[in-house]
A and B are shown apart, each in its own frame.
Chain A
Amino acid sequence: MGRVSVINVSRTFIKKEDKSETEALKKVAFDVGNGEFVCLLGPSGCGKTTLLRIIAGLETLTSGEITLNGIPITGPDPKRGMVFQQYSLFPWRTVMDNITFGLEMQGIKKVEARIQVEKYIELVGLGQFKNSYPFELSGGMQQRAAIARALANEPEVLLMDEPFGALDAQTRNILQDELLKIWEQKHVTFLFVTHSVDEAVFLSDRVVAMTSRPGRVKEIVDINLPRPRCRTGPEANRLRDYILKLLEEERLKR
């Protein structure tokens, strides 16, 4: 079960030096159903990453509330896994030991944890590299390991903050395909931040398009395309065109 409700969330940053205020989010509200794949899309600086970090419990909100299955979120919790845009693997641990980290934190013995995570290593296709250190991996492999690490905790929601942002276009497409496979197998709720319209249309059930700062929900677009999807089908193109126009409006408003 992973039902996320974002209820009128606002976040204002106050600069220490001159007490100037920046409104990052303003009364953002939407729901994400259990097992749904939702993308947060918006112009850069619109607060989508801030919102995701609030859901993860890494950032606080100024007003409003976010609940997971009806229970308010107060801080980080392994129930809400997160994959970061930057490479976040622990460089001093091997791929295997990175993935067992969450289980070790739950008090499961390393030997036991290693057996348990084997399936996640296979799921992301890193069997060959399980004893490698992060510096020996390519960017794409590092992000795969980070996804496996988040999944090993069996989270109810997986939060992804532009996880493929730093990858080249081809690796990106491959990882998108793999991510959908994982999503279909695991059926956890995915909340995915991106600035790529193509990515949002290809991956998600719904796209939450946000306005420029202060970030509000501009429109929630249903992507009713059958899966597996074709990246360049006429329907996908029409939706892409529609969402791009939404974003363009925001750009012109500035």
Chain B
Amino acid sequence: MKISFIKIIKENSIEALSLIIVIMIWQLVADGIVQNNFLLPSFYDVITSFFALVKNGLVFMDIFISLLHFSLGITAALIIGIPLGISMGWFKKVNRAVDPIIEILRPIPPLAWIPFAIVWFGLTHQAAGFVVFVGMVFPIVINTYTGFKNVPKVNVEAAKVLGCTQNVKLIRFIAIPSAMPSIVAGIRIAMGVGWMCLVAAEMFGASERGLGYQLWFNYYLHRMNFVVVYMLLLGFLGLFIDHFFRYYVDAKLLKWTAGTVV
């Protein structure tokens, strides 16, 4: 146990050293040069603020609320985006009907939907979830569609001569597995976009709780040390979600792509 711990430190020594140096520079600059807690809170300030938040438990509630908004958005985006992408990719006529609508809606920045999110849903979790949904749904639709377009014809034909001839079966057994790397890549892109939309939606008041809301609230109070805490929390949570997805999904779902370039 002890040996493996030392080994980890040894193996990651350059990374760890680099982090420590950056933190030291930050602390020195904040303390020695800027000397203004409003312009640049020091590392020490941020850490004590963080522990204060942990102590009164408020931070866990906000993490929970933000994750709730995020899961509302991602669930809706998956439920609508994947079937839509599938039907566009498999049925030419659906693509012709839906594509113009998507091409008009897609360039609208998701944040431009915030006023309507509030008008339609009020200051609720659904409103924030809706903005996340708008940010996530397009990358998911488009990557699912692309994945379906690129299903090798020879695989479809091979399946047909093996007795898999109905559309439903072809989609389920051939097109979906074949398109999976593309779909997964779309979801990963969407998660990055969705995370940004989440923070913005909460900041602009589409919700009364959450990490983004707290970040903005503390800015109004000029408590910049807390603003940094929430910034870092958002960064780490985003990183965590992405890594969880990358290691879990890639290892489980996409073993077979190890030999291909995706």
Q: What is the interface of chain A, defined by CB distance below 8 A to chain B?
A: 56-58, 75-78, 80-82, 84, 86-93, 101-102, 105-106, 133-136, 146, 149-150, 153
B104 at the interface (CB under 8 A from A): no
Q: Is the CB of B180 within 8 A of A76?
A: no
- A90-B177, A92-B178, A135-B259 known; A105 vs B163 contact (CB < 8 Å): yes
10 A-B pairs with C-beta separation under 8 A: A57-B161, A76-B163, A77-B163, A78-B161, A90-B159, A101-B164, A102-B162, A105-B169, A105-B173, A150-B161
Tell whether A58 pairs with B161 under 8 Å between CB atoms, given A88-B154, A90-B155: yes
Question: Does the CB pair B258–A135 fall under 8 Å?
Answer: yes
- Chain A residues whose CB sits within 8 angstroms of the CB of B159 once the complex forms: 90, 101, 105
- B residues near A, CB below 8 A? 154-155, 157-165, 169, 173-174, 177-178, 180, 255-260
* Bound Cα distance A88, B155 (Å): 6
Contact of A81 among B155, B161, B165, B257 (CB under 8 A): B161
Whether B255 pairs with A82 at a CB distance below 8 angstroms is: no
CA distance A77 to B163 in the complex (A): 6
Tell me the nearest residue of chain A to B180, going by C-beta.
A92
Return A112 CB to nearest CB of chain B, in Å. Answer: 16
| A77 CB to nearest chain B CB (Å) | 7
Q: How far is the CA of A238 from the CA of B225 in the complex (A)?
A: 92
Closest to B161 in A: A82
Which one of A101, A134, A136 lies within 8 Å of B162 (CB-CB)? A101
B161, B256, B259: the one within 8 Å of A76 (CB):
B161
- Is the Cβ of B255 less than 8 Å from the Cβ of A135? no
Q: Chain B contacts of A56 at CB under 8 A?
A: 161
Chain B hits for A80, CB < 8 A:
161
| Of B155, B164, B259, the contact of A105 (CB 8 Å cutoff) | B164
- Residues from chain B with a CB closer than 8 A to the CB of A87 are 154
Q: Bound state CA distance, A135 and B169, in angstroms?
A: 24
Majority SS at the chain A contact face: loop
Whole-angstrom distance from the CB of B255 to the nearest CB of chain A? 7
**CA of A92 to CA of B174, assembled, Å:** 9
CB neighbours (8 Å) of B178 from chain A are 90-92
Expressed in whole angstroms, the Cα–Cα distance for A56 and B160 within the complex equals 9
Contact: B259 with A153, CB < 8 Å?
A: no
Q: Is the CB of A84 within 8 A of B260?
A: no
Q: How far is the CA of A160 from the CA of B84 in the complex (A)?
A: 37
In whole Å, how far is B171's beta carbon from the nearest beta carbon of chain A? 14
B2 CB, nearest partner CB in chain A, Å? 38
Are B258 and A102 neighbours in the complex by a CB distance under 8 Å?
Answer: no
Distance in angstroms between the alpha carbons of A36 and B33 in the assembled complex: 91
Residues of A within 8 A of B169 (CB): 105
Q: CB-CB < 8 A to A101: which residues of B? A: 159, 162, 164, 173
Most buried by A among B155, B159, B162, B256: B162
How far apart are the CA atoms of A101 and B159 in the complex, in Å? 8
Contacts of A135 in B (CB 8 A): 256, 258-260
What's the Cα separation between A81 and B163 when bound, in Å? 9
Contact B160 A91 (CB under 8 A): no
Q: A86 and B154: CB pair below 8 A?
A: yes
With CB as the reference atom, state the residue of chain A lying closest to B165.
A76
Minimum Cβ distance to chain B for residue A229 (Å): 29
How far apart are B155's CB and chain A's nearest CB, in angstroms?
Answer: 6
Residues of A within 8 A of B180 (CB): 92
Across-interface contacts of A84 in B (CB, < 8 A): 154, 157-158
Closest Cβ of chain B: how far from A66's Cβ, in Å?
A: 15
- On whether the beta carbons of A149 and B177 are closer than 8 Å, the reply is no
Q: Which residues in B have their C-beta under 8 angstroms from that of A89?
A: 158
A77 surroundings in chain B (CB, below 8 A):
161, 163
In the complex, residue of chain B having the shortest beta-carbon distance to the beta carbon of A133: B256
**Contact indicator B174/A88 (Cβ below 8 Å):** no
| Alpha-carbon separation in the docked complex, A136 to B256 (Å) | 9
Q: Which residues of chain A come closer than 8 Å to B173, judged between CB atoms?
A: 101, 105
Chain B residue with Cβ nearest A53:
B157
A-B pairs with lowest CB-CB distance, top 4: A135-B259, A78-B163, A102-B162, A76-B160
- Starting from the known contacts A76-B157, A91-B260, A105-B162, 13 additional A-B residue pairs (CB-CB under 8 Å) come to A78-B161, A78-B163, A81-B161, A86-B154, A88-B154, A90-B158, A92-B256, A101-B162, A101-B173, A102-B163, A133-B256, A135-B256, A146-B158
The smallest C-beta distance from B258 to any residue of chain A, in angstroms, reads 7
Please, which residues of chain B bring their CB within 8 A of the CB of A102?
162-163
Docked Cα-Cα span, A58 to B157, in Å, equals 7
